[in-house]
Amino acid sequence: MVGIADVARHANVSASTVSYVLSGKRPISPETQARVHASIKALGYHPHAGARALASKRTNVIALVMPLRSGVHVPVLMQFVTAVATQAREYDHDVLLLTQDEGERGLRRVEGSSLADAIIVMDVEMKDPRVPLMRTLRTPCVLIGVPEDADGLTCVDLDFAAAGAACLDHLADLGHRCVGLVGSPRAVYERGTGFATRVADGVARAAARRSVATTTYPCEPNRDGARAAVRDLVEAHPDLSGLIVHNESVVESVLHALRDHGRRVPQDVSVVAICPDELAERLDLSGVALPAEEVGRRAVDLVLRPCGGEDPGATLLTPELTPRATTAGR
């Protein structure tokens, strides 16, 4: 194995100089730098990660806690993961993947064994049992998702309330006065999953502001759920002309169900969705995308950036609504 001493000898400098060339923590003459770099390349030197971690108390690793059986759409999850992994490399860090099933033990292990310099926890729920622990960790933490009490914690997520409001505003701008929200399964609301209730709140508040009538309809993630939702909403509200769908599993079925009820989209009913890009594009759907890449990148930035004592609190990304073929004025 080629070590720092070998490089030092080869470049005719001391080991510390090699180290400083690598870390940039003190000025080194250009000539020396060049020689050291040449030797590093010539010998194919890579610093030993363990030794470095031991001496410097930094691992150059970010731990990422991934949900196992997620309520989140799997491709979106994957986008988070790859965005985090990719962005981590920009900071010369690697990603250690933990699974949610280790729960708080996993977090303790990371901190206790000095496995990582920072932790990113995905899919944090409103009353997440890991939140109290995260608050006490010395290791910097950022949460993807916003718990009920986010005090003292750094969080990133799409601003779901604003996303709901954006959808409603879009429909209101188009002249719709009676709008339905096809939401997540009832269990998701009861579990207190943040994004579901926040979207509903955002829609409700915007509706009040714009004097639009709204109904929220929890919807099971299958065709029958979608059919029931459309049937009940259409029957109960004959003047319903707008639909916000926040449930990626049923958007397609909702569109079919509307047609089955003789409602053309967008002539009779406009539909906006809050769902992954790919889905919206495939169905040519107006809607707000889940900016998974952006969230992942921001999470890494937040957790690694030497933020100057500032408590960044919750970073809520502004939703972007893209109008496509499923919305029209009336």
- What is the binding site for a second copy (CB under 8 A)? 44-54, 59, 61, 64, 66, 68, 74-75, 77-78, 81-82, 85-86, 89, 94-99, 101-102, 108-109, 111-115
**Sequence-distant (≥ 6) Cβ neighbours of residue 174 within 8 angstroms:** 242, 270, 327, 328, 329, 330
| Nearest alpha-carbon partner for 302 in 91, 161, 35 | 91
CA 183 – CA 185 distance, rounded (Å): 7
Q: Which does 98 bind (CB under 5 to 8 A by kind): DNA, a second copy, none?
A: a second copy
Q: If residue 199 lies in a helix (H) or strand (E), which one and from where to where? A: helix 194-210
Binds 304, which of DNA, a second copy, none (CB < 5 to 8 A, cut-off by type)? none
Q: Which of a second copy, DNA, none lies near 85, with the C-beta cut-off 5 to 8 A by kind?
A: a second copy
> At which residue do the structure tokens 């031991």 appear?
54
75 binds, among a second copy, DNA, none (CB under 5 to 8 A by kind): a second copy
Closest separation in Å from C-beta 132 to DNA? 26
Q: Toward DNA, which CB reaches closer, 49 or 325?
A: 49
Q: Give me the least distance between CB of 78 and a second copy, in Å please.
A: 5
Give the binding site for DNA (CB under 7 A).
1, 3-5, 12-20, 22-23, 25-29, 31-32, 45-48, 51-52, 54-58
DSSP characters for 171-186? HHHTT--EEEEE-S-H
The residue count of the chain comes to 330
In whole angstroms, the minimum distance from the beta carbon of 56 to DNA comes to: 4
> From DNA, a second copy, none, which one binds at residue 4 (CB under 5 to 8 Å depending on kind)?
DNA
- Paired sense of beta strands 61-66 and 94-99, if any: parallel
What sign does the CA torsion over 305, 308, 313, 319 have?
negative
- Residue 72: partners with Cβ closer than 8 Å, 6 or more residues away: 123
**Least distance (Å) between residue 197 CB and DNA:** 44
